[in-house]
Chain A
Amino acid sequence: MEDRPTGSPQKIKLLLVDDEKDFVEVLTKRLKSRGFDVTAAYCGAEAIQALRKVDFDVAILDLKMEDMNGLEVLKIFKKMYSDMQVIILSGHETEQTVREGMEYGAFEYLSKPCEFEALVRTLHDATSAANT
C-alpha cells in the first residue's frame, strides 16, 4: 500500500510509544498510510534509544508501560529534545495524570479508544504548533 499524499512536503517524523504491540502495529500502519514517518517503540527504554538516533517531530506516548511510567518518559523526552511535541494517548485517564501530563509539557492528552481522525488532527496541530 502506498502512502497517501500529505499536506507537508516532508514527512512528519513520529515516535509511537506503547507496550500494546497489536495497538502499535495497527496504528503504525494507519499513520504510515496517512503519510507519517512512524517509528514504533514498545517500551520506555526503547523510545529513549530511538530518540537518541532521530530527532522526531512528534511522539505518541502511552502512560502505563511495563518498564517505565509514561510521565517519566515524558520528562526525559522533554529534557533530551524539548522541540518534540508529545501527545499522551492512554487508557488510564485520571484527573491527576492529565494534570501532570500537561504540566510536564505534553501537547495534548487523548484517551483510548480515540477517534483516529481526531488523533491525526491533533498530530498535525502539534507539528504546526512546533513549527510556529
Chain B
Amino acid sequence: MNQDKQARREISISFTRHIVLVVIIVSFTPMIVVSGIILDQYYTSYREKLYAHLNEMVHKHTQNIDGFLTERLNDIKFLSQTCGDDQLINESVLYEKLVLLQRNSGNVFEDLGIINEAGIQIAYAGPYKLEQAFYAEEEWFQEALQHQYYISDVFLGLRSRPHFIVSVRNVYQNERVLLRATINFEAFNALVENLRIGATGFAFIVNQKGKYQTRPHYDLIQNAPSYLQVIKKAEQKENGVYVGTVSDVFRNKDLIFLAAPLKNEDWMLVFQQEREDAYEDLKRTQIIAGIIIFVGALMIVLMNLFFFHKAVGRIAEADKAKEMMNRQVIETGKMASVGRLAAGIAHEINNPVAIMVEEAGWIDDLLNDGDFDECKNLDELKNSLKQINTQGKRCKDITHKLLSFARKTGSKLEQIQINDTIEEVIGLFDKSTYSRISFELNLAEELPPIYGSRTELQQVLLNLVNNAVYFLEKEGGTIRIATNFDNDNVFIVVEDNGPGIPKSNLERVFDPFFTTKPVGKGSGLGLAICYGIIKRRGGEITVSSAVDAGTSFEIRLPLGGQDQSSDNRPLPPESIPA
C-alpha cells in the first residue's frame, strides 16, 4: 500500500515536472524569439537613428567649419581688394583694419601682417612683436606663396601658440607679397568643441599628415596617421561622411567614429565616441527589457508551478475517487455474482431438500400406520426422522436467506421513522438477559422519515445489533446507535466496544457465508443480507474496526428512497436454472 502511494507520488512528481517543463518550453520559446526579434529590431533602428543623427551633426559642423574658413578667407580677400597693399603697408591702416575685422567677426582675427617674397613681415598689426619677423623658412609661408588664397594648418610658429593663418597673395612693386591674418585658435577650436555628445563623444580636426588641428578632448589616438587610414577604409556615406568603428587598444575600448573631409580635403573633421557611451540608452532599454522579460518568465514559472501543483492535486483526487468508485463497482459486481450463484444454489437445493423431507415424511406416515409398532427401535427411527425434518427446515432457512440476499423481496415500501424502528429493535433485547450489555442511543431529533421497507430496515438493524450482542455477550460492553442526517441522506451508526474485527477479515465481512461464529451459530448471511438491502435502497454500508477497540457500521440511506433492485437484481427469474 505504501509502495503504491510512493509510486503514485513519484508518478505525480514526474508528471508535474514533465508538464511544467513542456509549458515552460512552449511559453518561453515564443517569448524568447519575440523578445530577441524585438530587441534586434530595436538595436538596428536605434543604431540607424544614432548614426543618422551623428551623420547630420558631423555634416552640419563640417559645413559650419568650412563656412567659417571661407568667410575668414573672404574677409581677407575683401580687405586686400578694397585697400590694396600700398595702403596696408602702413601699419596704422593695417591696425585700423584689424580692429574693424575684429569688430565684425568677434575677435576671430588675432593679427594682420604683410610679408614680402623674401619672407620678411614688412607690416604687422597685432598683439605680438612680430614686425620684421622672418618667415622664409616656414613651411606655411612657402605654401602660401604658391597659392593665391591659402589657409594653413595649425602650427605654433614664432609666438609659440597654436594658430593658423589665412593669406591672400598679391603683387606689390613687382614682388609677391602675402596679406596674412592669424585666426584665433580658441575661436576656431570652440567651433569643433561644440560638437559634444554624451560623456565621451567629441570632435577634432586632423590634417592629412595626422596632426591635430584642434585640441582633442584627450589624446585618444596615439597613432593618428594610421587612424586616418582606418577612417579612409571605412564605409563612406552619400554625403561623404566616413562611418566605422575602431578599437582603442590602449584603453581597451571600442570606438565609433564619423569623419568628414574639410577644407578641400586637407583636413578631416572626426567625431568619435566610445561605443558603450553611444549605446548607453540602448543598453538601459535592454536592461529594462531584460528585467521585464526575466520577471515575466519568473511569473510564468511560478504560475505554472502553482497551477500545475493544483491541477496535479485535483488529478490525484480524481484518481482517488475513481479508484474508490472502481472498488465499489468491483464490490457491487462481486456481490451481484455471488448473489446470482447463491440464488442458483438455493433453487437447486430446494428440490432435493423437498424430496428428502417428503421421503422422511413418508417414512413417518408409514411408521404411524402402526405396522412397525412392534419394532424395538421405533423411537430411534422417529427421532431420526424428526432430525431429518429439522435439518430440512434448516436448509430451507438457509436457502431463503440466500434468496433474500440475492433478490428483490416483496416488502412493502412506506415512510419509515428510523428512530422508531431502532427503538423497536432495541426493545427486542430483554434487559435482564443481556444485563452485561448497555445500549446507548444518540438519535437525531427531527430526523426526516425515509421511504423504504420497514421489515428490511428491521432486518438490517437486527442483524447488526445481534452481531454486536453476540460478540459482547461474554465480556459485556456498550452498543451505541446514533442517527444523523443532511440534506440528502440519513446516517445510522451502530458501534460496539467489543473485540473488533481483524484487518484480514474486514474486507470479507459482507461476503455471503463469511462467518467467524462457530458452526451452527451463524450462517454468514446476516451482513450479506444487510449489504444487499442497503444497496438495493440506493444506500451504502461501511464497516470500520480495530481489534480490541470495537466495530462501527455506518449506513447511509438516501432521503428520497430509491429502489434499485430492478437495476441491480442479481438474479432475473428467467435465468434461474431448473
- Considering only CB atoms, which chain B residue lies closest to A22 in the complex? B355
The answer on a CB contact under 8 Å between B403 and A93 is: yes
CB contact list, B440-492 vs A, under 8 A: none
**CB distance A30 to B407 under 8 Å?**
no
**Any chain A CB within 8 A of the CB of B162?**
no
A contacts with B, residue count (CB < 8 A) = 27
Q: Is the CB of B362 within 8 A of A92?
A: no
Kindly identify, within residues 80 to 132 of chain A, every residue whose CB is under 8 Å from any CB belonging to chain B: 91-99, 111-114, 116
User: Does B538 sit at the interface, judged by CB under 8 A?
Assistant: no
Q: How far is the CA of A58 from the CA of B576 in the complex (A)?
A: 27
Beyond A20-B355, A23-B355, A26-B355, whether A66 also contacts B578 by CB under 8 A is yes
**A-B pairs with beta carbons under 8 A, tally:** 76
Min distance, Cβ B20 to any Cβ of chain A, angstroms: 58
Chain A residues contacting B500 (CB-CB under 8 Å) are none
Give A116 to B355 CA distance when docked, in angstroms: 11
Is A39 an interface residue when CB atoms closer than 8 A count as contact? no
Is the C-beta of A65 less than 8 angstroms from some C-beta in chain B?
yes
Whether the pair A20, B351 counts as a contact (CB closer than 8 A) is yes
Contact A111–B350 (Cβ < 8 Å): yes
In the complex, the answer to whether B573 meets A97 with C-beta atoms within 8 Å is yes
Kindly provide the distance from the CB of B383 to the nearest chain A CB, expressed in whole angstroms: 18
Which residues from 555 to 578 on chain B have a C-beta closer than 8 Å to any C-beta of chain A? 571, 573, 576-578
Q: Which residues of B contact A97 (CB under 8 A)?
A: 573
Note all chain A residues with C-beta closer than 8 A to B348: 91
Contact residues in A for B355 (Cβ distance below 8 Å) = 20, 22-23, 26
A91 near B573: Cβ-Cβ < 8 Å? no
What residues of A have a CB within 8 angstroms of the CB of B347 in the complex? 64, 91-92
Other-chain residue from B354, B409, B571, B573 in contact with A112 (beta carbon distance below 8 A): B354
Contacts of B410 in A (CB 8 A): 95, 98-99
Q: Nearest CB to that of B410 among chain A residues?
A: A95
Question: Is B24 engaged at the interface, CB distance under 8 Å to the other chain?
Answer: no
Q: Smallest distance from the beta carbon of A39 to chain B beta carbons, Å?
A: 18
Closest Cβ of chain A to B344, distance in Å, is 10
A22 to B358, alpha carbons, bound, how many Å? Answer: 10
**Are B359 and A113 in contact (CB-based, < 8 A)?**
no
* Residue B408 at the chain A interface, CB threshold 8 Å: yes
Question: Measured between C-beta atoms, what is the minimum distance from A26 to chain B in Å?
Answer: 4
Interface centre among A19, A20, A23, A114 (most CB of B within 10 A): A23
B365 interface residue (CB < 8 Å to A):
yes
Report if B361 contacts A (CB, 8 A): yes
Query: Smallest CB-CB separation from B411: which chain A residue?
Result: A95
- 9 A-B pairs besides A91-B351, A112-B353 with CB distance below 8 A are A23-B355, A64-B577, A65-B578, A91-B349, A94-B403, A94-B571, A113-B357, A113-B358, A114-B354
